[in-house]
């Protein structure tokens, strides 16, 4: 049951939020965070990510039967009722943990949960709308984690350009995960970038967009004149070049790479997750 629960909750997704909280805390304080300051927030948002994934598994059941039939809910190893129970429990614990931190942190946790519900649950089901997945993932994995660090250290002088950068990068990375789901998404009219553009064209466009955003941010930080940001932006651009080349190469054979044997993530999605975490680490180091 533990193995099936991990396959349902997808704990690797929480790593993005955890690294986002740590990075934003470092940026807000220009120092390494005190473990006692971030341990409960990390626990809270990790649980909210688990709740988000469990909830999505319920409403994506028909899609997962096509894309990922080996996952526990399509296989019947975890029932829909059990999945609902798990989602409710982990969300409630996550929200309570956020309440013990501060009211402002609780508000962020409630916003995270609300957006997760709107993403998955009809009639809103933002996931089905054009770029809906990008928008939601950009907010819950980019925007909200970035705010948490500033709230935790009590610094409300939040740099808008960094918020925009991390949000857009998270939104673009979400398209890398959408490749593995494009067959089921297409049949169920979920309008992700690979569905709208086609997998090969989408891979090229996502790679080009990541490269453009990274280049534009380097130009911006050079204009601002902050040396540590310039260095971080330059390193981020080099990483973006690697990711863009990877996507352009993958685009040629993307339909052959993706199979129904995926239980956790395809290697394309995992490269995207690694890219997002690496970018956060680069900027965290720049502010220490």
What integer is the mean pLDDT of 200-214? 92
Query: Domain map of the chain by residue range?
Result: 2-287
CA distance 272 to 134: 13
CA distances from 246 to 134, 181, 182, 258 (A): 20, 19, 19, 15
- pTM: predicted TM-score of the whole model, two decimal places: 0.92
- In the chain, pLDDT over 90 holds for what percent of residues? 65
Given a contact cutoff of 8 angstroms between Cβ atoms, the answer to whether 101 and 153 are in contact is no
d(CA 141, CA 171): 8
Q: Report the distance separating Cα 164 and Cα 151, nearest Å.
A: 17
- The DSSP code for 139 is I
At a CB cut-off of 8 Å and minimum separation 6, what does 34 contact?
Answer: none
d(CA 218, CA 202): 24
- 2-287 — its CATH code? 1.10.357.140
Nearest CA-CA partner of 150 in 159, 138, 140: 159
Structure confidence by residue, pLDDT tens digits, 236-282? 999 999 998 888 887 777 666 666 567 677 788 888 999 999 999 99
Q: What is the pLDDT of residues 141-192, one digit of tens each?
A: 999 999 999 999 988 888 889 999 999 999 999 998 888 888 889 999 999 9
Instruction: Using the predicted structure, report yes or no on whether residue 110 has a pLDDT greater than 90.
Output: yes
């Amino acid at each position: 049951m533990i193995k099936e629960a991990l396959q349902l909750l997808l704990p690797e997704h929480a790593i993005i939020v955890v690294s986002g909280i740590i990075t934003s805390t470092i940026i807000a304080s220009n120092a390494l965070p005190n473990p006692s300051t971030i341990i409960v927030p990390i626990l809270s948002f990790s649980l909210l990510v688990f709740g988000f994934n469990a909830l999505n598994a319920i409403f994506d059941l028909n899609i997962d039967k096509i894309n990922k039939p080996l996952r526990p809910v399509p296989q019947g190893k975890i029932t829909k009722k059990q999945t609902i129970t798990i989602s409710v429990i982990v969300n409630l614990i996550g929200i309570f943990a956020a309440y013990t931190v501060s009211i402002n942190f609780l508000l962020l946790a409630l916003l995270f949960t609300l957006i997760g519900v709107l993403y998955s649950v009809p009639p809103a089901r933002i996931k089905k709308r054009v770029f809906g997945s990008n928008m939601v993932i950009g907010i819950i994995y980019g925007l909200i984690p970035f705010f948490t660090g500033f709230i935790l250290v009590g610094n409300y002088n939040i740099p808008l350009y960094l918020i925009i950068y991390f949000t857009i990068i998270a939104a673009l990375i979400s398209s890398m995960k959408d490749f593995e789901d494009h067959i089921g998404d297409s049949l169920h009219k979920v309008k992700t970038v690979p569905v709208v553009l086609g997998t090969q064209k989408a891979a090229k466009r996502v790679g080009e967009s990541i490269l453009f955003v990274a280049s534009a941010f380097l130009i911006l930080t050079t204009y601002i004149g902050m040396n540590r940001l310039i260095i971080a932006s330059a390193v981020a651009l080099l990483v973006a070049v690697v990711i863009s080349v990877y996507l352009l190469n993958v685009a040629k054979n993307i339909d052959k790479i993706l199979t129904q044997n995926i239980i956790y993530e395809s290697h394309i999605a995992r490269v995207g997750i690694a890219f997002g975490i690496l970018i956060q680490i680069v900027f965290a180091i720049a502010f220490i």
